[in-house]
Structure 1
Amino acid sequence: MQANYVFRVTVQLDPPTAHLDPDRFETVCRLPAATPGTDGWLFFQYNLWRGDIADADHMQSLLMEKLGVEVIEASFSELETDSAYRAALESEIETDLSRFNADSVDAVVHQHLGSSIHVRDAEAIPDA
């Protein structure tokens, strides 16, 4: 069971003893998704809305902490997941729909991830 939250990020490098050109570039960042039901599994609820970042400043700070470099811009690309993770996520959401103020699992997934969830073979999902 494997999944990653995938972001496009623009980072700024400013080394104290060198000059870089370019010193700003775009790259892909993958954050491993916590196993549904464990600490951190509600990342999507706290950070995403309709397939976009809900709070850009917060997400930039979070990504700066994870990456150790200045993040100028960030956008959510997708939750890449295998079918086992997706099934576990949906099962965990279903156990407490009231937490999400929704009537169905599909509504929760759409509210937070939009259509930005892609199921792949586990072997095709890079380790974060």
Structure 2
Amino acid sequence: MRGKITLGLLFLMACTSLKKVPDLGGLRWSLVQLQNEKLDSSPVYVQFDTSAHRFSGNAGCNKVSGNYTATVKTLTFEEVISTRMACVDTRANERESQLLRLLNNHTYAYDINGATLQLKDSGKVILQFKGF
């Protein structure tokens, strides 16, 4: 009986370790939702370099980049930096500042469903991207 339990536990552990981290690379992820605000034709996007564990993109007015770590369940953004060009559009500037605050040193639960990437905090969608 003890051998069956051990074998069962080993099988369960093997199945759990078979879950793969979804591949975030190869797509440009365009921001379509920032907290509760839906965005139409937003210039904001991120791309993931899966081999270097870095991301880069456009935060609206400025370029953005940083490190990221992905597990099966979480996506963590670290050391987020951006250029500092002036942004004439006040609303775009506010949106960009909000995005940078939401990304910098933050861990999200995430879901990828087809070409949709959702970053969630406490079960609530904070950022949603469409992949192209």
Structure whose CA Rg is larger:
2
Work out which structure has the larger RCO, using CA pairs closer than 8 Å and 6 or more positions apart in sequence.
1
Structure 1 or 2: more helix by fraction: 1
TM-score, normalised via structure 2 length: 0.25
TM-score, normalised by the number of residues in structure 1: 0.26
